[in-house]
Amino acid sequence: VLPWVWGLPASALQGDLLFLLDSSASVSHYEFNRVREFLGRLAALLPVGPGALRASLVHVGSRPHTEFPFGQHSSGSAVQDAIRAAAQRMGDTNTGLALAYAKKQLFAKAAGARPGVPKVLVWVTDGGSSDPVGPPMQELKDLGVTVFIVSTGRGNLLELSAAASAPAEKHLHFVDVDDLHIITQALRGSILDAMWPQQLHASEVTSSGFRLAWPSLLTADSGYYVLELAPSTDPGAARRQQLPGNATGWAWTGLDSDTDYDVALVPESNVRLLRSQHLRVRTLPEETGPELIVVSHTRPRSLRVSWAPALGPDAALGYHVQVGPLRGGAAQSVEVPAGENSTTLQGLAPGTAYLVTVTAAFRSGRERALSAKACTPEGERSRAPRPQPQRTGGREP
pTM above 0.75, yes or no: no
- Tens digit of each residue's pLDDT (9 = 90 or more) over 34-56: 999 999 999 999 989 887 899 99
pLDDT of 388 higher than 50: yes
From 170, 165, 160, select the one nearest 127 (Cα to Cα): 160
Q: Which residues pair with 120 in a beta bridge?
A: 17, 146
315 three-state secondary structure: coil
Write down the pLDDT at residue 57: 95
Res. 395: pLDDT tops 50: no
pLDDT, tens only, 127-181 = 778 888 888 998 888 888 899 999 886 667 778 888 888 777 789 888 888 999 9
Q: What is the pLDDT of residues 308-338, one digit of tens each?
A: 876 554 567 889 999 999 887 888 999 998 8
The residues pairing with 13 across neighbouring beta strands, listed in sequence order, are none
In this predicted structure, what is the pLDDT of residue 237? 92
Q: Is 171 helix (H, G, I), strand (E, B) or coil?
A: helix
The pLDDT value recorded for residue 204 is: 80
Q: Kindly list the structural domains of the chain, giving each domain's residue range(s) and its CATH number in brackets, ordered by start.
A: 15-195 (3.40.50.410), 201-283 (2.60.40.10), 291-376 (2.60.40.10)
Instruction: Render pLDDT for 75-92 as a digit per residue (tens, 0 to 9).
Output: 999 999 999 999 999 999
The per-residue pLDDT for 223 is 94
C-alpha of 68 from chain center? 26
Q: Is 7 exposed, middle or buried (0-12, 13-18, 19+ CB in 10 A)?
A: exposed
> Does residue 4 or residue 230 have the better pLDDT?
230
Q: Rounded distance, CA 306 to CA 322, Å?
A: 13
Please state whether beta strands 201-203 and 172-174 pair in parallel, antiparallel, or not at all (unpaired).
unpaired
Task: Give residue 8's pLDDT band: very low, low, confident or very high (50, 70, 90).
Answer: very low
Strands 201-203 and 260-269: unpaired
Which DSSP helix (H) or strand (E) runs through 39? Answer: helix 29-44
Distance of CA 154 to the CA centre of its chain: 15
Cα-based angle 346, 352, 358 (whole degrees, multiple of 5): 55
Higher confidence at residue 212 or residue 116? Answer: 212
Q: Note the pLDDT of residue 7.
A: 38
Between CA 17 and CA 193 the distance in angstroms is: 13
Residues of the chain with pLDDT > 90, as a percent, come to 43
CA–CA separation, 202 and 185 (whole Å)? 24
For 114, residues 6+ apart whose C-beta sits below 8 A from its C-beta are 14, 16, 54, 70
Identify any residues that bridge with 171 across adjacent strands, giving them in sequence order.
none
pLDDT at 6: 36
What mean pLDDT comes out for the span 199-216? 84
